[in-house]
Amino acid sequence: MEKIALPTAGLVVVEDNKLLLGYSRNKKAWYLLGGKVDPGENSFQALLREIKEEINLSLAPESLTFYCHISAPAYGEKTNIIMEQDCFFYELKEKIQASSEIEDVRFFDFKTYQKEPIQVPGVVMLYQRLIADGHLQ
């Protein structure tokens, strides 16, 4: 079966050795905040739009810093769909709350996330990258 790329963008917020994740109402798992890149958008534009939709936060474009790209099986999609996610660092200073398709937002350390009933492959890969790069312990 031919692999299909699913372009996405993710918000990386690290605080107190924990990563900010959002709980998807639809897929019942903790994900990086962000989402799919729509036609005509780049990952940066998609992230600004998705964060406004998910947690009602208008990000200042200059406050985002590209961190890395993650390729992983797209959780909850057909097995031939590969998530291609550009991840951007953001220093969160605002109070946030879930809205739209996000049920909850919470900070997780990697050990706590690993105890969740579902671990999304791309999130696990991001944790591993953050640990390897010294952003998390």
**What's the confidence (pLDDT) of residue 25?**
79
As a whole number of angstroms, the distance between CA 103 and CA 4 comes to 28
Sheet holding 4-12, edge to edge: 34-36, 4-12, 81-89, 65-73
**What's the confidence (pLDDT) of residue 26?**
79
The class level of CATH for 4-132 reads alpha beta
For 77, 86, 114, 128, the CA distances from 137, given in Å and listed in that order, are 30, 22, 14, 10
* Chain centre to alpha carbon of residue 5: 16
In degrees, to the nearest 5, what angle opens at C-alpha 40 toward C-alphas 38 and 46? 45
Mean pLDDT score, 102-128: 96
Residue in 80, 78, 50, 68 with CA at minimum distance from that of residue 127 = 68
Question: pLDDT tens for residues 14-47?
Answer: 999 999 999 987 778 999 999 999 999 999 999 9
**What's the confidence (pLDDT) of residue 76?**
85
Phi, psi of 80 (to 5 degrees): -90, 0
Ramachandran assignment for 110, one of left (phi > 0), alpha (psi -120 to 50 degrees), beta (any other): alpha
Question: pLDDT tens for residues 58-88?
Answer: 998 999 999 999 999 999 888 899 999 999 9
Instruction: Please check the confidence at residue 100 and state whether its pLDDT lies above 90.
Output: no
**What's the confidence (pLDDT) of residue 98?**
84
Locate the domains of the chain by residue range: 4-132
Residue in 72, 65, 43, 56 with CA at minimum distance from that of residue 105 = 56
If residue 128 lies in a helix (H) or strand (E), which one and from where to where?
helix 121-132
